Amino acid sequence: MAKPEKLVEAITSMEDDFAQWYTDVVVKAELASYSGVRGCMVIRPYATALWENIRNELDARFKATGHENVMMPLFIPESLLQKEKDHVAGFAPEVAWVTHGGDELLPERLCVRPTSETLFCDHYKDIIHSYRDLPKLYNQWCSVVRWEKTTRPFLRTTEFFWQEGHTMHETAAEAVEETERMLGVYADVAENCLAIPVIKGRKTDKEKFAGALATYTIEAMMHDGKALQSGTSHYFGDGFSRAFGIQFTGRQNTLEYPHQTSWGMSSRIIGAIIMTHGDNSGLVLPPAVAPVQVIVVPVAPHKPGVVEKAREVTAALRAFCRAGIDETDNSAGWKFAEYEMKGVPLRLEIGPRDIENNRCVIVRRDNREKAEVSLDSLGEAVPRLLGDVHKGLFDKAAASRAAMTYEALDFEDIKKQAAEKPGFFKAMWCGNGECEEKLKQQAGVTSRCIPFRQEKIADTCVCCGGPAKEMLYWGKAY
Amino acid sequence: MAKPEKLVEAITSMEDDFAQWYTDVVVKAELASYSGVRGCMVIRPYATALWENIRNELDARFKATGHENVMMPLFIPESLLQKEKDHVAGFAPEVAWVTHGGDELLPERLCVRPTSETLFCDHYKDIIHSYRDLPKLYNQWCSVVRWEKTTRPFLRTTEFFWQEGHTMHETAAEAVEETERMLGVYADVAENCLAIPVIKGRKTDKEKFAGALATYTIEAMMHDGKALQSGTSHYFGDGFSRAFGIQFTGRQNTLEYPHQTSWGMSSRIIGAIIMTHGDNSGLVLPPAVAPVQVIVVPVAPHKPGVVEKAREVTAALRAFCRAGIDETDNSAGWKFAEYEMKGVPLRLEIGPRDIENNRCVIVRRDNREKAEVSLDSLGEAVPRLLGDVHKGLFDKAAASRAAMTYEALDFEDIKKQAAEKPGFFKAMWCGNGECEEKLKQQAGVTSRCIPFRQEKIADTCVCCGGPAKEMLYWGKAY
C-alpha cells in the first residue's frame, strides 16, 4: 500500500501552488509531456483520446448544422497574409517563417498558418460566383502555430490543435446569425459535454480578433478564479471579401460582397477541464468525453473466478459505455489512486463477496460516494451514475463560480476587491477604451465579455463615473 | 438535356491523355483545387469526406490491434533530425526549414516534419525504461511536408495527409511481426474497403525507406499500367534506438535496445482510387468509403407527391447507408451526369409511375446496370447492390491487372516488352543492385517489390543471366 500514497504525495496541492498542481496533473495523468521542440508538446494517448471525444462531439454538431470539413494548406505566402491589414498586424509578430525548401532559398517566405482566414478567402474567391453558391459552411481540424514567449501545456503552446470554421453568407444578418449559432454550439458542448458552465457574451473592441467586426466568446471560471476564454466566434462583415476581391452576383443581378464568419475551439479546452474539475487527487473527467468512463478493478484477483467475473462485467458494460479493466498485479490501493489521478468518472470494484451476492461497488470520482449495485441492474445504474457525475461536476463548478463572482461599483471598489480576491467582477462600463485600459493597468483586471444576459448593477461607469452603457465581466485571464 | 453533354464533354478521355483525364476528374468531381501555395492543394469537402471514411476504416483496425493515437509536434530541430545518419541523408534535401519566429532569428533551424521517426524516438527515450513498458504501439494522423519539384494532386504534393504508426518492441521477432501485421491491415483496407487488388511484398535495398532494415509495401496497378505504392511498413531493427539512446531493462535484468517499426498510408490512396476505378464519365467510388453511397433523384419532381416520396425513401435509406437526395431544379439528365462524375455507387430514380407501382429504379455506377426494385425491399436490395458494386470494381481491377502483367526472361525481352506496353513484368533477379540499376537506366523499369507469393519464372536473373534468387515485379511507377 505504499504506492498509492507515493502517487498522491507526488501532486502539489492546489491550495499550495495552483500552477504547480496544474503541471503535476498534466504530467502524472499522462496527458502531455514536454518535447525537445521549444513550446511544443507531445499530446500523449490519454489526452489524444480525450481530444478525439471532444472533436467527435463538436464535429457531429457542425455537421448537423450543415457544415462540411475541408483541409487547407499548412502554409500561407507572406503576400497573402498581408491582404487584410488589421489581420496581418495582429498575427505577423507571432508567426513561424519558412524561408528554405531543402537547400533552396524560397522566392517568397511562407508562414506556418496561425489561423486560416486568408487561405479560406483565397479559395472562396475561386468558388463563389453567385448567390446560389452561398452559404459556404466550411470547417477544418488542424494544428496552428503562434510563436509564444512563455508556454504552458494546453493553455498556451507554440503549436496547438483546434478546429476553425470559416463561412460565407449572402447577407450580414445571416452571417451574424451563424456567428451566434456557433457560439451556441460551443456553449452546448462546454456545458452539456464538459460540465463547464460558461458565460456567453461579446468581446470589447480592444479584445476582439484581428480583422473582426465583432467577437463572441464563452468564458469559464477556473478553480483559482481566473477566466479561460473557451471558444470564440467572429463576425467579419465584408472586410476580407473586399480585400480578396470575393464577389457574387446577387438576386437582383448586382455584384455583391459576401459576409464572413470564423469560429474556433482549441485543445486549450483540455486545460479548462483540468482547472474546472480537477482536485488534489488529480484529474476529474466529465463522463461524456472521458476516454474510460468506468474502470473495473477486480478485488482479490487471485481468488478463483474473480478475474473471469470482472471480465464478464467489463464486456457487459462495453455494450453501453467506455469501460476498461485493470488486470495488472498492482495492488487494489495503487489502482484506486491511479484511476483517481486519471479522473475516470466511475470505479467498479468487484471481489469474491460481491460475486457471492451478485453485486459490485461503484465509486464516483467526483465526490467518492459509494453505491452497492446489483450486477443485474448495471445497464440502468451505470448510465444514471454517469449522469449524476456530470450533474455533480456542473453544479459544483457553477457554485464555485457564483461564490467567486462579485459586483463592483466604482474604481476604488474594483481595485480593492481585485487586489484582495480572485474571481469575476461584474461592473458597469461607459464603453470607452481608456477606462478599459485604466482598469487593466491600475486595477489589474481585463474585460472578459459583455454578457448577453445583462444586469443593471449601477447607472455609472465603474471607472470614470460617466453614464454606463453596459455591464461587463472583468477579471484575470489565462 | 444540354448540360449533361457539356459536363461529359468537359472530361478528356483517358485513352487520349491519361494525365489530363486524371486532372479533369480531380477538378470536375470537386475533389481538390490548386491553392496559391506552391505544391499545396485545397482538399475540398467531397475528398475530405472520402478521406475521413478511409481514416475511420484504418483507425478502427489500428485500435482493434491495440494501437493508440498521439499527437506529436509539427517541427523537428535540425540536431534531432541528424541523429540517425541514413535517415537525415534521405530527408534533409526535401524539408521545409523554419528559420524565424516572428522577427527573431531562431538559434536552431526547425524543419517541418517530413515524417516523425525522430520525434517518436525522442519521446520513447523518456517513457521506455523496462520491458513492462513495451510494446509501445502509437499512431498519429497528421500532414507532413516534403519539398517536391513537380507535383500532382494527391499523388505528389508538398504537403500531404497521412497516418504514421511508430512502434517499439522487446524483440526483433515481435517488431517484424508487427511490420507484417500492419501491411496486412493496409492490404485488407485496400482490397476490402477500396476494392483495389494489391501485391504484398518487400522492397529491394535500393527502394527501401531511409534508415529502415526492411520495407514492406502493397503495390497497386493503375488503369495506365503504372504502379502506385499504396502503403508501406518498415522494420528498423534497433538503429534509431541506438542513435537516440533508448534502452530498457530486460527480463534478464540486462540493458537492451528496443526494436522499432513505422508504417504509413497517405492521401495518395485517393489518387489510387481515381486511377483504379475511374472512367470517362468521371470518378467511380468504392461503396465502403463513398461519402454518398446512394443518390436519390426524383423524376418529374413537379408532379404531386414525387418529392415527398423521394424524401421518404431517402430517410428510410439513411437507416442503413449514406444516402443523399438532389432536390435542385436541375434536369434529371444533368443530375445523372453530375453523380456519375462524382462516382456515387448507386443512383435511385423515382418518378410518378414508379410510385404508382411501389417501386424505383436503381442504377449501378460501375456498369450502369439498371434494376427495378420494390420500395418494400430496399433494406435488402441496396446493401446487396452496394456489395455487387464493390465486387464488380474489384474483379474488373483484378482482371485489368492480370491482362497487363507479363513475364520476362532476359534483358532484351524485358527491355522490348517495357518499351512496347505498360504493365507489371514478373522477372527473376540475382539480388545485385547493379542489375537493378541497369534495368532502371536501360529498360526503364524499377523494382516494385519482391512479392511474398513467389513464382519461379526461370533459373537465371533477367538482367545478368546469373543464378536467380527471387522473382520481382518490375514496372513504371507514380
Contacts of B92 in chain A (CB under 8 A): 102
Tell me the average pLDDT across A162-184.
Answer: 98
For residue A6, the model assigns a pLDDT of 45
pTM of this structure: 0.96
Sign of the torsion formed by the C-alpha atoms of A411, A414, A415 and A417: positive
For residue A93, the model assigns a pLDDT of 87
Tell me the average pLDDT across A240-262.
Answer: 97
Q: What are phi and psi of A458, to 5 degrees?
A: -160, 180
pLDDT > 50? residue B394: yes
What strands lie across the sheet with B75-77, from one edge to the other?
A75-77, A104-112, A96-101, B96-101, B104-112, B75-77
For residue A317, the model assigns a pLDDT of 98
pLDDT > 60? residue A4: no
- pLDDT category of residue A334 using cuts at 50, 70 and 90: very high
Contacts of B69 in chain A (CB under 8 A): 45, 48-49, 52
DSSP code of residue B17: -
Tell me the average pLDDT across B435-456.
Answer: 97
B66 touches chain A (CB under 8 A): no
Q: What count of CB pairs under 8 Å joins A to B?
A: 154
* Whether A48 and B41 lie within 8 Å, measured CB to CB: no
Nearest CA to CA, how far is B62 from chain A (Å)? 13
Tell me the average pLDDT across B280-298.
Answer: 98
For residue B84, the model assigns a pLDDT of 84
A420 touches chain B (CB under 8 A): no
For A74, which of B49, B77, B143 is closest by C-beta distance?
Answer: B143
* Whether A103 and B93 lie within 8 Å, measured CB to CB: yes
Nearest CA to CA, how far is A316 from chain B (Å)? 18
Distance CA(A348)–CA(B457), nearest Å, equals 62
B246 touches chain A (CB under 8 A): no
Nearest CA to CA, how far is B45 from chain A (Å)? 5
pLDDT > 80? residue A419: yes
Domain A294-385 is found in CATH 3.40.50.800? yes
* Whether A102 and B80 lie within 8 Å, measured CB to CB: no
| The three grid cell numbers given for residue B73, joined into one nine-digit string | 509536434
User: Residues A312-328, buried b or exposed e (16+ Cβ, 10 A)?
Assistant: ebbeebeeebbbbbbee
Neighbours of A1 (CB within 10 A): 9
> Which of B74, B149, B167 to mutate to test binding with chain A, by most A CBs within 10 Å of its CB?
B74
* Whether B73 and A98 lie within 8 Å, measured CB to CB: no
Nearest CA to CA, how far is B94 from chain A (Å)? 5
B77 touches chain A (CB under 8 A): yes
* Whether A71 and B97 lie within 8 Å, measured CB to CB: no
Q: B405-475, which class in CATH? A: alpha beta
B94 touches chain A (CB under 8 A): yes
For B94, which of A80, A102, A158 is closest by C-beta distance?
Answer: A102
Nearest CA to CA, how far is A74 from chain B (Å)? 8
For residue B10, the model assigns a pLDDT of 78
Domain B294-386 is found in CATH 3.40.710.10? no
Pick the CATH number of B13-277 from 3.40.1030.10, 3.30.70.100, 3.30.930.10, 3.40.50.1450: 3.30.930.10
Average predicted confidence (pLDDT) for chain B: 95
pLDDT > 60? residue B380: yes
Tell me the average pLDDT across B393-408.
Answer: 98
For residue B1, the model assigns a pLDDT of 35
Tell me: the pLDDT tens digits for B121-133? 999 999 999 999 9
- pLDDT category of residue B6 using cuts at 50, 70 and 90: very low
Distance CA(A203)–CA(A216), nearest Å, equals 6
For residue B255, the model assigns a pLDDT of 97
More confident residue, A456 or A86: A456
CA dist list (Å): B258 to B85, B88, B249, B298: 19, 21, 10, 61
By the 10 Å C-beta count (0-12 exposed, 13-18 middle, 19+ buried), B304 is classed as exposed
* Whether A102 and B92 lie within 8 Å, measured CB to CB: yes
Contacts of B95 in chain A (CB under 8 A): 101-102
Sign of the torsion formed by the C-alpha atoms of A391, A392, A394 and A400: positive
More confident residue, B92 or B445: B445
- pLDDT category of residue B86 using cuts at 50, 70 and 90: confident
* Whether B110 and A96 lie within 8 Å, measured CB to CB: yes
- pLDDT category of residue B9 using cuts at 50, 70 and 90: low
Tell me the average pLDDT across B50-69.
Answer: 98
Closest CA to B257 of B248, B270, B265: B248
Tell me the average pLDDT across B99-124.
Answer: 95
For residue B93, the model assigns a pLDDT of 87
Distance CA(B24)–CA(B42), nearest Å, equals 15
Average predicted confidence (pLDDT) for chain A: 95
For residue B3, the model assigns a pLDDT of 41
Contact between B169 and B258 under an 8 Å Cβ cutoff? The reply is: yes
pLDDT > 90? residue A39: no
- pLDDT category of residue A85 using cuts at 50, 70 and 90: confident
A123 touches chain B (CB under 8 A): yes
B110 touches chain A (CB under 8 A): yes
pLDDT > 90? residue B392: yes
Using DSSP bridges, classify how beta strands B214-221 and B227-237 pair: parallel, antiparallel or unpaired: antiparallel
Map residue A441 onto helix, strand or coil.
Answer: helix
Tell me the average pLDDT across A284-289.
Answer: 98
pLDDT > 60? residue B197: yes
pLDDT > 50? residue B230: yes
Contacts of A48 in chain B (CB under 8 A): 68-71
| The three grid cell numbers given for residue B110, joined into one nine-digit string | 526547425
Closest CA to A256 of A364, A128, A447: A128
Residues of chain B with pLDDT > 90, as a percent, come to 92
pLDDT > 80? residue B5: no
Nearest CA to CA, how far is A256 from chain B (Å)? 23
A122 touches chain B (CB under 8 A): yes
For residue B92, the model assigns a pLDDT of 85
pLDDT > 50? residue A3: no
Domain ranges in chain B?
A: 13-277, 294-386, 405-475
* Whether A70 and B43 lie within 8 Å, measured CB to CB: yes
Tell me: the pLDDT tens digits for B130-158? 999 999 999 999 999 999 888 899 999 99
